[in-house]
Structure 1
Amino acid sequence: MIEDAKVDGQAGPTTSGTPDPDRQASLGRLVEQISEQASRLVRAEIALAKAELTEKATKSGIGIGLLVVALLILAYAVGVLLLAAVYGLGTVWPLWLSALVIGGFMLLVTIVLALVGVQLLKKATTKPESIDRVRDDIASIKEGMGR
């Protein structure tokens, strides 16, 4: 018959083939400890993730604020540069004509950018072909499972 054997300090099966009760108790305790530690680890990871997200959100908010201020300054700078272009052309042409030419050029650039933007938006808002392919695949799988 099988004798009580100890492997690595653990009690082995008894002669009846049932596990040692001490070993079951310690195994249950180990499982309980693992469960506790796993839940503590998950809570700690969640807390760390929250802290990281808070820090990133703060930095992102500051970055966005700085970008808004930079864009506002850029808008004024473009206005000043356009005025300088009008005055520069005003040395060769009458001031009204130079303002008309610069304004017309700005209008032309605006129209071209708007048309390109509209075309890109139309392409972006159409339904992707992959959606139809996925629907076809799902229908094929359902049909295959039904047979």
Structure 2
Amino acid sequence: MKRIFGILLALLLIVGVSGAWGMGCTNPSSGTVTTTSDAEIGSSGVRLLQVSYTTASSGGTFTCVTSNDVTGWILNVETDPGATAPTTLYDIDLDNANGRDIMGGALDDRSATETEDTLALKRGNYQVVYNEGPLTIQVTAAGNSKTVEILITYLP
């Protein structure tokens, strides 16, 4: 009986840990999450954190803390305006646990019509950056009830 209990407990732990990678961002404090995921792409260990969202109906903002830590090298961030396009030149910050925008402003002034991607901007140079811990996604000046998808590619 103890052995069966031990096996069941081990399986629960394995399922619980592997399932923790599944969600990217839930429970936003402003706006609504439409879809979200955090999954490995390919076999090299690179992960893709995907968050599709709708900005708040008043204020045109979206704020959400990632459900799990995004610890590793941030390789690329892509934004794709949705069917209800955001206001031209809207801004996105990816704030680390210390409140610093790890993208260095590289996600400011996003296009309302074009899919765009970028590396982080650090000391005037575009480069990959390291993050440890959760990220707070903050979108401002996007217009009320607008949709966007953000894709964060990272290597843990």
**Greater fraction helix:** 1
Larger Rg: 1
TM interval, shorter chain, is under 0.3
Question: Please, what TM-score do these two structures have when normalized by structure 2?
Answer: 0.26
**Greater fraction strand:** 2
Question: Please, what TM-score do these two structures have when normalized by structure 1?
Answer: 0.27
